[in-house]
Amino acid sequence: MSRQLLSRALVSINWLSQALETSKPGPSLRVLDASFYYPPIRDGRKEYDEKHIPGALYFDIDECKDHASPYEVMLPSESFFANYVGNLGINNETHVVIYDADQVGVYYSARAWWMFRAFGHYKVSVLDGGFRNWVKQGLPVTSEVVKPKPETFRAVLNPALVKSFEDIQRNLKAKEFQLVDSRPAGRYNGVEPEPGEVILPGHIPGSSNIPFTSFLTEEGFEKSPDEMKQLFKDKGIDLTKPLTITCRRGVTACQLVLASFILGKEDTSVYDGSWFEWFHRSKPEDRVSA
């Protein structure tokens, strides 16, 4: 697989470095730093202010959400998203490249990538290897923050890419789609605590478990398509059939959506409320734990 334009959803560090050498970030190409951490052991915005890819703007996952929802980072409204990304100088023709600074390589950037796709923007890619490997390769960084000229962005939610609590509840019996949980095995099995300890661990009945880090190399890059395909196959997941991914809050689930997209499956959906919502709304008998 080429280490340049790896897929429509994945670009290499070399590709982005060369793209930034030939043209400055603007309405045709925007780079976003989507670093965020929960629990807040690190401050993504502070780290961005101190050091980021030249021309990159900060995409705040905790700001670009439904603030009226009691469930962690639920999708905002179409109008909120359109206004938020428009103020980042993004229009419907902009190629958006997203990265984050997490040590695993790709974490919240996959969530931001999925958000753009959910709102109908398909010219969006994740930087393979993330900021960790950008720095490792000795590429330039800066503390300079660029103020973009606002653009007009039209957001139209694609409901096929988002599952609700009611959808998951109905699927317990209907079995309309496969459900995969991307959290670490200990939390899925209910033997390790959830971050923040505000909810107990466990999983939705009928869901399989493929931890999101399984799709990443130790160096922080996406594994090869053949390796990704085998990960799904080993869990009995048929990529020709409907698939929904869940996690704690709809973030690491997007890593599996990204993986399935790279494998040619573009209709994988996310249960946006994920385990956090399920824990609070479901009946006790609909939660599996150790």
pLDDT in tens, the chain (290 residues): 334 545 689 999 999 999 999 988 889 999 999 999 887 789 999 999 999 999 999 999 999 999 999 998 999 999 999 999 999 999 999 999 999 999 999 999 999 999 999 999 999 999 999 999 999 999 999 999 999 999 999 999 999 999 999 999 999 999 999 999 999 999 999 999 998 768 999 999 999 999 999 999 999 999 999 999 999 999 999 999 999 999 999 999 999 999 999 999 999 999 999 999 999 999 999 999 87
| DSSP secondary structure code for residue 58 in this structure | E
Q: Report helix, strand or coil for 177.
A: coil
Amino acid at 45: R
Other Cβ atoms closer than 10 A to 254: 29
Name beta bridge partners: 150.
Answer: none
| DSSP characters over 77-94 | -HHHHHHHHHTTT--TTP
Q: How far is residue 183 from each of residues 85, 147, 199, 219, measured CA to CA in Å?
A: 28, 36, 14, 20
- Alpha carbon distances (Å) from 50 to 58, 93, 122, 136, 141: 12, 30, 30, 17, 9
129 φ/ψ sector (left φ>0, alpha ψ -120 to 50, else beta)? left
Bridge partners (DSSP) of residue 163 are 271
Task: Write down the pTM of the prediction.
Answer: 0.95
Both structure tokens of 187: 């939390």
- 271 - beta bridge partners? 163
Please, which residues have CB within 8 angstroms of residue 21's CB and are 6 or more apart in sequence?
Answer: none
Q: Which domains does the chain have, with CATH numbers?
A: 5-136 (3.40.250.10), 159-286 (3.40.250.10)
CB 221 within 8 A of CB 133: yes
Give per-residue pLDDT as tens, 135-177: 999 999 999 999 999 999 999 999 999 999 999 999 999 999 9
Which residue in 85, 247, 254, 257 is the catalytic one?
A: 247
Residues in the chain: 290
Question: Cα–Cα–Cα angle for 30, 217, 98, nearest 5°?
Answer: 10
Rg (CA), the chain: 18
Longest Cα–Cα distance of the chain, Å, equals 58
Tell me the two tokens of residue 133: 């490997």
Euclidean distance between CA atoms 33 and 72, whole angstroms: 20
The 3-state DSSP class for residue 62 equals coil
Contact 181, 206 (CB under 8 A): no
**For strand 124-127 and strand 29-33, is the pairing parallel, antiparallel, or unpaired?**
unpaired
- 247 catalytic? Reply is yes
pLDDT at 2: 38
Whether 31 contacts 57, CB under 8 Å: yes
Cα separation, 138 vs 11, whole angstroms: 18
Quote the CA–CA distance of 176 and 208 in Å, as a whole number: 15
Interatomic CA distance for residues 34 and 1, integer angstroms: 26
- What is the per-residue pLDDT for 290? 72
